[in-house]
Amino acid sequence: MDFDRYSLFFLASALPIYTLGFIAYTVAFVQSIAGVSSHSGIGNSPDTRTHNTGVAYGDANKVGTLVKVANLFGKTHKLFRVATVLSFIGVVLHGTSVILRGIAAGRVPWANMYEFALTSTFVCVLVFLSVARKVDLNFLAPFFFGLIVIFLGSGLTLVYVPISPLPPALHSYWLIIHILVAILATGFFMLGALLSGLQLSRNVFFAQSRLIPNVDFLENIAYKLNVIGFVFWSFTLVAGAIWAEKAWGRFWGWDTKEIWTFIIWILYAAYIHARATAGWRGTRSSVLSLIGFTTIIFNFTIVNVFFSGLHSYSGL
């Protein structure tokens, strides 16, 4: 049985489901923003003249407007629920694709760029849905699933490679530990970066929105997620050094991938240190968070494709 073919089928099924979820989240998000903005002047009308009924025009307008807003948010809430259901269907199909790729390869499915994109996006969605059980992330969902569709679609169309034998250096249980922890770190860093991006744009583009929390809340949640990601990334760095010693006889060799992994660690360490000790909050904190995640994307794409080294496992 060609398990890789079935893996591609389930992935090709997950992508449109994720896309529909992204569209539903986006429409609900825009509706909520537009609804609040258009009715933000509730109660500000100076017209309080009355008819024989004794009801003031201003009061009647308030009641009518509140009913419209309630209906709008009722429909928006249903649309968010539809989007959430679609995201759960998508992640089940996506997870099935990951499992089938692993079965087809006879190993863990993260040994090249395509497999890393396949598995890391799946883990990112799991992290998002897990955090969303504790914190309402409807305001973040359009941006998150937009990125998931882009990353997963790019992985399928640009970096897909057939299953091939592993290089000798990858025949180790450290492949499971080292890369899995890096994938988990990426999931938390991605959420942290999105929250930081919203923090920067909150008062510029969404000043009237009641859906998006205030900047302090966004910054605090982003910080907590980035700290969790940093812990995982630190273990990634340590595990990579141990694996390098077993594979090549040295803990550190200034290989391109090692350098960029360390640069990412330094950036997030600086972010955490600056916020905790130097009082870097607001814009400076958010910018550091975004620089850190941008470096992760650079490490995965540009470094993997255009830089040579012992870690050249893109498969392309």
Question: Which tokens is 141 given?
Answer: 């969902």
Question: Other CB atoms closer than 10 Å to residue 220's CB: what's the count?
Answer: 14
- pLDDT in 10s for each residue of the chain, 316 residues: 789 999 999 999 999 999 999 999 999 988 887 755 444 444 444 443 344 434 343 444 443 433 343 344 445 678 889 999 999 999 999 999 999 999 999 999 998 899 999 999 999 999 999 999 988 898 999 999 999 999 999 999 999 999 988 877 778 888 899 999 999 999 999 999 999 999 988 877 776 667 788 888 999 999 999 999 999 999 999 999 998 888 778 888 888 888 999 999 999 999 999 888 867 787 888 999 999 999 999 998 888 887 776 555 655 5
Rounded to two decimals, what is the model's pTM? Answer: 0.83
Report the pLDDT value the prediction gives residue 62, as an integer from 0 to 100.
Answer: 40
Long-range contacts of 34-39 (CB under 8 A, 24+ apart): 35/69, 35/72, 35/73, 35/76, 36/69, 36/208, 36/209, 36/210, 36/211, 37/208, 37/209, 39/65, 39/68, 39/69
DSSP secondary structure string for all residues of 83-109: HHHHHHHHHHHHHHHHHHHHHHHTS-S
Report the pLDDT value the prediction gives residue 237, as an integer from 0 to 100.
Answer: 94
User: What are the φ/ψ torsions at residue 56 (nearest 5 degrees)?
Assistant: -70, 145
Q: Are 130 and 194 in contact (CB under 8 A)?
A: no
